[in-house]
Amino acid sequence: MTFDTITEDRPLRAVIAGAGFIGRQWATELRLHPDVELVGWADVDTDKMPGLYGSVTEMLDTLRPDFLVNGTVPGAHHEVTLAALDRGVSVLSEKPMAVTFEEGAAMVAAADRARRLFMVSQNRRYLPGLVAYRRTVAELGELAILASEFYIPYKTVKFLDDLPHPLIQDMAIHLFDAARAISGTDPLSVYCESFRPAASWYTGACSATAIFEMTGGLRYVFSGSWSAPGLQTSWTGSWRAIGARGTAVWDGDATIRAEGVLPVELEKDVHAGSGRFQGLAWALREFVDALRTGRPPQGEGRDNLASLAMVTSALESAIRGERITSHLYAAD
Ligand X SMILES: NC(=O)c1ccc[n+]([C@@H]2O[C@H](COP(=O)([O-])OP(=O)(O)OC[C@H]3O[C@@H](n4cnc5c(N)ncnc54)[C@H](O)[C@@H]3O)[C@@H](O)[C@H]2O)c1
Question: Interaction with ligand X in 158-217: which residues (CB under 6 A)?
Answer: 159, 170
Question: Interaction with ligand X in 58-77: which residues (CB under 6 A)?
Answer: 71-74, 76
Can residue 52 be called a binding residue for ligand X (CB under 6 A)? no
Q: In what helix (H) or strand (E) does residue 311 lie, and over which residues does it extend? A: helix 301-320
- How many Å apart are CA 174 and CA 167, to the nearest integer? 11
- Residue of minimal Cβ distance to ligand X: 20
The b-or-e profile of 147-171 (16+ CB within 10 A means b, else e) is bbbbbbebeeeeebeebebbbbbbb
What minimum distance in Å lies between the beta carbon of 93 and ligand X? 8
β-bridge mates for residue 42, sequence order = 17, 53
Strands 12-17 and 143-151: unpaired
Question: Interaction with ligand X in 99-138: which residues (CB under 6 A)?
Answer: 123
What minimum distance in Å lies between the beta carbon of 16 and ligand X? 9
Can residue 30 be called a binding residue for ligand X (CB under 6 A)? no
Question: Interaction with ligand X in 269-298: which residues (CB under 6 A)?
Answer: none
What minimum distance in Å lies between the beta carbon of 160 and ligand X? 9
What minimum distance in Å lies between the beta carbon of 159 and ligand X? 5
The b-or-e profile of 285-318 (16+ CB within 10 A means b, else e) is ebbbebbeeeebbbbbbebbbbbbbbbbbbbbbb
Can residue 40 be called a binding residue for ligand X (CB under 6 A)? no
Minimum CB distance to ligand X smaller for 72 or for 183: 72
Question: Which residues are near ligand X by CB under 6 A?
Answer: 17-23, 42-45, 48, 56, 71-74, 76, 80, 94-95, 123, 157, 159, 170
